[in-house]
C-alpha cells in the first residue's frame, strides 16, 4: 500500500476518484479484520450519514499490537523520552506493550468499564497514556483524552457532555521545570461530575494527592490484581472508537466522534505513505496525545504499521533549546514531525543549540497544525534536514482524522508554504461565498471536501444536528473545513488560515467566543471581543478588547486578574497575549461586533479600516485606535 513513485501517486489518485470503493477496499485489505465488510461505503452529506466498511468486525488494538507479535514482538513500539534528560528513557517492545495494554484493559474491566462506556483520560506524556488509550480500545470503551493544559471546568464540561464513567489520570505531570498537579485539577473537576464512578491514578511525580475512598484507586495497585490476558472486544467498523473535543466558532467545544474501521484504515494508510515509513526506522512526532496529531500519528497510525514511535514527555526548550536535537541524536530519529510554532521558537535561539549535534539520521521532516511561513520552512530544511530531507507540510484537522493534503515523502514534490497535493481518496474543492465551485488554477476560496474519506468524523457527540450545521450546511453536499485556501498555477494547495472565528495559537485551536465567554465571567467585565493577531512564534496571538467600567484598582493588576479567570475557566493555553481596556466596541446597528475592524487595529493596520459608516458609533473606533497605541 506504499506509494513509491509520482506516477503511482497519479494512478492511485485517479483510481481513488473513479472507483473509491475499490480503492479503499484494497487499502483495507492491509489490515486485520475479524469479519469482512459487505459494503465499503454508503454516504450522504445532507444528514450527514457516513458508513465505511459496513458489516466488518475488528479491534484496532489487534492491528496495532497482536498482529505484530509474531514477526516484530521484540521490535520497539514506543520509546519514551522523559522530561528530565538525566532520567533513563524507556523502550517498550510490541510484546511488552501488548502485555501492558491487556493488563490495564483488565484493570478497566475490574473497575466496571465495558464496551461503549466513555472514559476520560487526563495524563502526562508517559507510556501509560498510550497504554490507557489502547486499553480502552481493547475493551471497546470510548476514550476522551483531554490535554493536560485544560482547567478543571473545561474537564468537567467535557466529562459531563459525554457522561464519562471513569477517569484515568496521574498525580502530576512535568513540563520543563514546571509541575502540573493533574490529580488536584481532576479533584476540582469531579466535584461537578456525577457520572464518574472511579478514578485510576498513576504515580508519576509523586506529589501528595488526595485519594477518595470508594472512588480513587492507584494504577500500580490495580495492575497487581489482574493478569495480562485480555481477549480484544469485537467491534463493528462503525462503533465509536474515541471522542476528541475541539473548539469551533461557538462558545462550547464539540466532541468529534471517530469510529473504529475507517479511522484505523485512514490513520495507518496516511502514516505509511506521507512519511514513507521504512521498517526499522525511528519516528518522532512531538505532538501531545491530547490532540488529534498524537492520536493518529503517535499512537494509532504508527503502531498499526508496526513502527517505532517516540513519545516525549517534555518541551523543546528544556533543559535547553538543544533538546530536540539531543533526542534526534540519542535515538537516531529518522522522521521528525513537529509544529511550525516549535520550529519558529527554536529558530529564535540561533544556531548555537545545533552545534555539534549529529542530525544525520534524519530522512524525512514533517510540519503540522498551522501554515508554515517560508522562513521557518527554509530553516527547517537547511539546518535540520541539511537540504536532503523532504518536508511534508501536512494539512488536516481533528475532524478529518488523518492527513488530507500533503506531500508524500520522497515521492511527490514539496514547495515552501504549500501542503501541495491531495492524498489519494481526497477530493478538495474551492468555493466562493455562495458555494459555487472556483475551478482552474491560480485561484483562492473556501476549502471544502466533496467526497467522503474513511477517517472523517461521523458526528459530534450527543448532538448530531450540530455536526450537520457546522460542517455540512454551509455549502450543500460539501464538507466545509473552515479554512481559506489558494490553489496556485501548478494546482498546489496552500492553506491560508481559518475563515471562521477560530484562532490557531501555537497550533492549538481556540474559539474566540470561548475566550470571550471566559473573560466575561470576570466580575465587573461588561463585554469583550477577542481577535487573533500575527505573532512571531505562536502564529497567532490572542488580542482581547475588554469593557471593564469600574475597574478594581490598577489596570495592570486587573489584566492579571482577567488572565487568572481565563486560566480557571479554560486553561492557560487560552490566556490573551494582549488586553486592551476600551469603553465601547465597534458594533453595527444590529449589535454585531465588527471584528474586521478590531483585527486591523490589533495588527496595527489602521490606515485602511474600510467602511465604518454602518457602525452604531463610529467615534469608538478612533478611541480604540488611540488606546491601542499604548500597548
User: In the complex with ligand WT7, which residue's Cβ is closer, 395 or 548?
Assistant: 395
User: In the complex with ligand WT7, which residue's Cβ is closer, 331 or 487?
Assistant: 487
Dihedral pair phi/psi, residue 518, rounded to 5°: -65, -45
End-to-end C-alpha distance for the chain, whole angstroms: 54
- Considering only CA atoms, which of 38, 43, 41 is closest in space to residue 57? 38
- By beta carbon distance, the residue nearest ligand WT7 is 398
Q: Is 144 in the site for ligand WT7 (CB under 6 A)?
A: no
Q: Binding to ligand WT7 (CB under 6 A): which residues in 570-589?
A: none
User: In the complex with ligand WT7, which residue's Cβ is closer, 218 or 379?
Assistant: 379
**Cell numbers representing residue 107 in the block:** 484493570
Q: By CB under 6 A, which span of 91-99, 259-267, 289-297, 464-472 interacts with ligand WT7?
A: 289-297
**Cell numbers representing residue 280 in the block:** 526499522
Q: Is 338 in the site for ligand WT7 (CB under 6 A)?
A: no
Least separation in angstroms between CB 334 and ligand WT7: 21
**Cell numbers representing residue 16 in the block:** 481513488
- Considering only CA atoms, which of 143, 518, 76 is closest in space to residue 294? 143
Is the distance from CB of 277 to CB of 309 less than 8 angstroms?
Answer: no
Q: Is 512 in the site for ligand WT7 (CB under 6 A)?
A: no
- Considering only CA atoms, which of 552, 442, 417, 430 is closest in space to residue 485? 430
Q: Is 528 in the site for ligand WT7 (CB under 6 A)?
A: no
User: In the complex with ligand WT7, which residue's Cβ is closer, 112 or 491?
Assistant: 491
Q: How far is CA 267 from CA 33, 144, 179, 226, 261, in A?
A: 16, 18, 32, 31, 10
How many residues bind to ligand WT7 according to rule CB under 6 A? 24
Least separation in angstroms between CB 311 and ligand WT7: 17
The binder of ligand WT7 chosen from 335, 470, 504, 602 (CB under 6 A): 504
Residues β-bridged to residue 202:
170
Q: Starting from the edge strand earliest in sequence, which strands make up the sheet with 216-218, in order?
A: 216-218, 198-202, 166-170, 118-122, 142-145, 240-246, 254-259, 459-460
Is the distance from CB of 606 to CB of 600 less than 8 angstroms?
Answer: yes
CA pair distance 426, 23, nearest whole angstrom: 12
Dihedral pair phi/psi, residue 429, rounded to 5°: -150, 140
Least separation in angstroms between CB 244 and ligand WT7: 9
The binder of ligand WT7 chosen from 482, 532, 571, 586 (CB under 6 A): 482
Angle at the Cα of 573 (from 197 to 127), degrees rounded to 5? Answer: 55
User: In the complex with ligand WT7, which residue's Cβ is closer, 315 or 404?
Assistant: 404
Is the distance from CB of 182 to CB of 122 less than 8 angstroms?
Answer: yes
Q: Is 293 in the site for ligand WT7 (CB under 6 A)?
A: yes
User: In the complex with ligand WT7, which residue's Cβ is closer, 288 or 516?
Assistant: 288
Least separation in angstroms between CB 200 and ligand WT7: 27
Element (H, E) at 532: strand 527-535
* β strands within 303-438, DSSP E: 308-312, 335-338, 364-368, 391-394, 428-431
The binder of ligand WT7 chosen from 117, 370, 501, 516 (CB under 6 A): 370
Phi-psi label, residue 170: left if phi above 0, alpha if psi -120 to 50, beta otherwise: beta
User: In the complex with ligand WT7, which residue's Cβ is closer, 161 or 393?
Assistant: 393
Least separation in angstroms between CB 298 and ligand WT7: 12
What's the distance, CA 510 to chain centroid?
12
The binder of ligand WT7 chosen from 415, 498, 587, 595 (CB under 6 A): 498
The binder of ligand WT7 chosen from 118, 138, 204, 509 (CB under 6 A): 509
Long-range contacts of 86-89 (CB under 8 A, 24+ apart): 89/330, 89/331
Least separation in angstroms between CB 631 and ligand WT7: 26
Q: By CB under 6 A, which span of 102-110, 261-269, 285-293, 545-553 interacts with ligand WT7?
A: 285-293
**Cell numbers representing residue 56 in the block:** 466488518
**Cell numbers representing residue 420 in the block:** 501541495
Least separation in angstroms between CB 484 and ligand WT7: 9
User: In the complex with ligand WT7, which residue's Cβ is closer, 185 or 376?
Assistant: 376
The binder of ligand WT7 chosen from 161, 222, 238, 483 (CB under 6 A): 483
What does the per-residue mask of binding to ligand WT7 show for 232-251, with x meaning CB under 6 A? --------------x-----
CA pair distance 108, 105, nearest whole angstrom: 5
Q: Binding to ligand WT7 (CB under 6 A): which residues in 384-443?
A: 393-398, 419
CA pair distance 338, 321, nearest whole angstrom: 15
Least separation in angstroms between CB 26 and ligand WT7: 26
Q: Which residues contact 242 (CB under 8 A, 6 or more apart)?
A: 133, 136, 137, 142, 143, 144, 145, 257, 258, 295
User: In the complex with ligand WT7, which residue's Cβ is closer, 424 or 482?
Assistant: 482
Q: By CB under 6 A, which span of 158-166, 379-387, 477-485, 525-533 interacts with ligand WT7?
A: 477-485
Check residue 576 and report its DSSP letter.
-
User: In the complex with ligand WT7, which residue's Cβ is closer, 41 or 336?
Assistant: 336
Q: Is 470 in the site for ligand WT7 (CB under 6 A)?
A: no
Least separation in angstroms between CB 374 and ligand WT7: 13
Q: Which residues contact 288 (CB under 8 A, 6 or more apart)?
A: 125, 147, 148, 294
**Cell numbers representing residue 452 in the block:** 467522503
Least separation in angstroms between CB 429 and ligand WT7: 16
User: In the complex with ligand WT7, which residue's Cβ is closer, 393 or 516?
Assistant: 393
**Cell numbers representing residue 257 in the block:** 466522534
Q: Is 501 in the site for ligand WT7 (CB under 6 A)?
A: no
Q: Is 376 in the site for ligand WT7 (CB under 6 A)?
A: no
CA pair distance 336, 145, nearest whole angstrom: 23
Q: Is 292 in the site for ligand WT7 (CB under 6 A)?
A: yes
What's the distance, CA 206 to chain centroid?
28
Q: Is 298 in the site for ligand WT7 (CB under 6 A)?
A: no
Q: Is 371 in the site for ligand WT7 (CB under 6 A)?
A: yes
The binder of ligand WT7 chosen from 368, 421, 530, 597 (CB under 6 A): 368
User: In the complex with ligand WT7, which residue's Cβ is closer, 9 or 297?
Assistant: 297
User: In the complex with ligand WT7, which residue's Cβ is closer, 131 or 505?
Assistant: 505
Q: Which residues contact 228 (CB under 8 A, 6 or more apart)?
A: 99, 100, 102, 103, 106
Least separation in angstroms between CB 128 and ligand WT7: 23
Least separation in angstroms between CB 409 and ligand WT7: 14
User: In the complex with ligand WT7, which residue's Cβ is closer, 292 or 518?
Assistant: 292
Q: Contact positions toward ligand WT7, by CB under 6 A?
A: 246, 291-293, 368-371, 393-398, 419, 481-483, 495, 497-498, 504, 507, 509
Amino acid at each position: 500500500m506504499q506509494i513509491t513513485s509520482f506516477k503511482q501517486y497519479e494512478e492511485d489518485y485517479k483510481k481513488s476518484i473513479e472507483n473509491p470503493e475499490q480503492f479503499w477496499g484494497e487499502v483495507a485489505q492491509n489490515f486485520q479484520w475479524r469479519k469482512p465488510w459487505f459494503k465499503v461505503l454508503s454516504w450522504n452529506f445532507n444528514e450527514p450519514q457516513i458508513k465505511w466498511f459496513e458489516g466488518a468486525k475488528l479491534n484496532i488494538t489487534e492491528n496495532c499490537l497482536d498482529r505484530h507479535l509474531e514477526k516484530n514482538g521484540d521490535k520497539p513500539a514506543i520509546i519514551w523520552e522523559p522530561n528530565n534528560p538525566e532520567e533513563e528513557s524507556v523502550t517498550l517492545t510490541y510484546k511488552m506493550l501488548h502485555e501492558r495494554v491487556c493488563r490495564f484493559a483488565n484493570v478497566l474491566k475490574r473497575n466496571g468499564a465495558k464496551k461503549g462506556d466513555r472514559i476520560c483520560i487526563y495524563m502526562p506524556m508517559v507510556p501509560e497514556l498510550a497504554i490507557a488509550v489502547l486499553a480502552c480500545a481493547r475493551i471497546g470503551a470510548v476514550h476522551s483524552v483531554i490535554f493536560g493544559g485544560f482547567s478543571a471546568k473545561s474537564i468537567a464540561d467535557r466529562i459531563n457532555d459525554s457522561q464519562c464513567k471513569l477517569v484515568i489520570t496521574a498525580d502530576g505531570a512535568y513540563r520543563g521545570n514546571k509541575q502540573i498537579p493533574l490529580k488536584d485539577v481532576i479533584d476540582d473537576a469531579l466535584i461537578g461530575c456525577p457520572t464518574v464512578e472511579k478514578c485510576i491514578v498513576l504515580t508519576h511525580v509523586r506529589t501528595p494527592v488526595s485519594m477518595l475512598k470508594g472512588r480513587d484507586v492507584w494504577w500500580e495497585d490495580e495492575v497487581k490484581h489482574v493478569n495480562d490476558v485480555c481477549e480484544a472486544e469485537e467491534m463493528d467498523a462503525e462503533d465509536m472508537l474515541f471522542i476528541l473535543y475541539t473548539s469551533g466558532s461557538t462558545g462550547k467545544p464539540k466532541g468529534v466522534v471517530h469510529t473504529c474501521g475507517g479511522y484505523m484504515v485512514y490513520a495507518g494508510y496516511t502514516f505509511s505513505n506521507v512519511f514513507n515509513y521504512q521498517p526499522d526506522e525511528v519516528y518522532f512526532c512531538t505532538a501531545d496525545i491530547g490532540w488529534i496529531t498524537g492520536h493518529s500519528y503517535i499512537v494509532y497510525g504508527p503502531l498499526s504499521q508496526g513502527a517505532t514511535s517516540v513519545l516525549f514527555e517534555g518541551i523543546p526548550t528544556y533543559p535547553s533549546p538543544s533538546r530536540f536535537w539531543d533526542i534526534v541524536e540519542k535515538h537516531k530519529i529518522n522522521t521528525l514531525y513537529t509544529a511550525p510554532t516549535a520550529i519558529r521558537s527554536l529558530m529564535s535561539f540561533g544556531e548555537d543549540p545545533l552545534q555539534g549535534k549529529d542530525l544525520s539520521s534524519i530522512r524525512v521532516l514533517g510540519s503540522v497544525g498551522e501554515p508554515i511561513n517560508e522562513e521557518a520552512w527554509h530553516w527547517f530544511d537547511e539546518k535540520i534536514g541539511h537540504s536532503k530531507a523532504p518536508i511534508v507540510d501536512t494539512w488536516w484537522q481533528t475532524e478529518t482524522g488523518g492527513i488530507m493534503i500533503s506531500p508524500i515523502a520522497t515521492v511527490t514534490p514539496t514547495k515552501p508554504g504549500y501542503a501541495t497535493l491531495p492524498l489519494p481518496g481526497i477530493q478538495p474543492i474551492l468555493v466562493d461565498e455562495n458555494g459555487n465551485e472556483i475551478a482552474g488554477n491560480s485561484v483562492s476560496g473556501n476549502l471544502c471536501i466533496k467526497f467522503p474519506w474513511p477517517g472523517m468524523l461521523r458526528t459530534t457527540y450527543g448532538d448530531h444536528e450540530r455536526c450537520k450545521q457546522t460542517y455540512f450546511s454551509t455549502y450543500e453536499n460539501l464538507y466545509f473545513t473552515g479554512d481559506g485556501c489558494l490553489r496556485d498555477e501548478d494546482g498546489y494547495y496552500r492553506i491560508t488560515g481559518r475563515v471562521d472565528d477560530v484562532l490557531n495559537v501555537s497550533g492549538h485551536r481556540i474559539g474566540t467566543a470561548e475566550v470571550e465567554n471566559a473573560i466575561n465571567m470576570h466580575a465587573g467585565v461588561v463585554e469583550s471581543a477577542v481577535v487573533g493577531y500575527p505573532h512571531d512564534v505562536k502564529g497567532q496571538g490572542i488580542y482581547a478588547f475588554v469593557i471593564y467600567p469600574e475597574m478594581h484598582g490598577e489596570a495592570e493588576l486587573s489584566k492579571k486578574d482577567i488572565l487568572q479567570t481565563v486560566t480557571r475557566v479554560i486553561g492557560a493555553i487560552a490566556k490573551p497575549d494582549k488586553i486592551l481596556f476600551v469603553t465601547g466596541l465597534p458594533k453595527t446597528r444590529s449589535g454585531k461586533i465588527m471584528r474586521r475592524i478590531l483585527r486591523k487595529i490589533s495588527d496595527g493596520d489602521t490606515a485602511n479600516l474600510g467602511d465604518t459608516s454602518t457602525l452604531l458609533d463610529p467615534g469608538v473606533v478612533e478611541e480604540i485606535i488611540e488606546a491601542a497605541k499604548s500597548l
